[in-house]
Amino acid sequence: MHNDNDLQSLRRLAASLLVVSTLLLLSAGNSFAKDAVREAEEGIVNTEESSRMAPFKLKTLDGKTFDSKQQLNGRVSIVVFWRVGQDRSLKLLSDLVELRAAFPEDELNIVTILSGKTDPPEAQQIVNELDLRFPVLLEPERNVYAAFGIIVSPTSWFIDANGTMQLTYPGRRRDFLTTAKAHVEFLLGRISEEEHASRIEKKAAPRSSGTVGAPIRYRLAKRHLNKGEREAAQEQFLLAWEEKPPFAEAGVDLGILLLEDAKPTEALQVLKEAAELLPDDPRAQGAMGLALIRSGEAKEGEILLRAALANGLNEPLFFYEVGRLSELQGARDEALNFYKTGLKLSIDTKP
């Protein structure tokens, strides 16, 4: 038998190495040529099947109520999720200022949503400095953000006059302004589908398509993680996951990062699909088990997680989680063994 001090000491040590080892495991990837990196960075706008937006109500920065059902109908709209302290978000807001000047308000509606807890005076300072002449909605609890599955900030929605979402645009590309103008003109009916496609194609760098482009993005994401650029890695995982067909391994890594960001609902949505594409992959099954546990479905999640470990999953994150569950259930000897295994893997993973 092991005493409580042994268990507590191992738990603390395992937890201290957990973040480092997880990032190392995520970032382990192959090197590739500079032109492949540039190719992925110059990717094109993500297009998705159109869908009706669920209505929402939020307070604006100046205290008014914004009702999407009333205010996102009748005009083409761009809705942007952004956050304070992010250079990409600020650059995108500057792009929106130019778009506002290019299209009259009776044709184009621009709305931005500031997600997460933010100091209103700080947000107002940004509004003043950039001379933003469109609503800034506050969403401190990130409910809308989560409900629509937003993963990367900034993310832009292009919505037609009927309130139907036509395009989702994660991140901020260097040619956002020119491609956004083409999207708006197409949704306004000013240009044909052929001209729209032509204008977008001219602004996009040559790139591989489908399953060829997705592995490039995936390796780029791994490279970003190696350099400690976690947010850039998450964006590339997302883009690889959203390829058609989706790159399933990118979905697994994206789901794990979302779990680290305390977003179990979004993680579970991604991991369920990834696990279906990788039914025999223990890492996909283990990650989905972890997402179920974090979503309150501990029993089902633990079954998946233990099965994944039995099938060869060999990463400290998952051993530590099963150890935690064993400890909660009073199985201290078992918990200690899982902590020890996770700890050894963490040490072996360190460079």
Domains of the chain, residue spans = 4-38+210-349, 45-203
Q: Token pair for residue 293?
A: 């546990």
Least confident segment among 48-62, 86-100, 148-162: 48-62
**Binning pLDDT at 50, 70 and 90, where does residue 235 land?**
confident
| pLDDT, average across residues 98-103 | 94
Q: What is the pLDDT of residues 190-214, one digit of tens each?
A: 999 889 888 876 443 333 344 447 8
**Binning pLDDT at 50, 70 and 90, where does residue 244 land?**
confident
Report the distance separating Cα 125 and Cα 121, nearest Å.
Answer: 6
Q: What is the pLDDT of residue 94?
A: 94
pLDDT at 54 over 80: no
Q: Are 156 and 134 in contact (CB under 8 A)?
A: no
Q: What is the pLDDT of residue 93?
A: 94
Question: What is the CATH superfamily name and number for domain 45-203?
Answer: Glutaredoxin (3.40.30.10)
Buried-state track 187-211, b at ≥16 Cβ within 10 A, e below 16: beeebeeeebeebbeebeeebeeee
Domain 4-38+210-349 CATH (choose: 1.20.1250.20, 1.25.40.10, 3.30.1330.10, 3.30.460.20): 1.25.40.10
Q: What is the pLDDT of residue 103?
A: 95
Report the distance separating Cα 114 and Cα 138, nearest Å.
Answer: 5
Q: What is the pLDDT of residues 308-334, one digit of tens each?
A: 999 888 888 898 899 889 888 988 888
Q: What is the pLDDT of residue 4?
A: 57
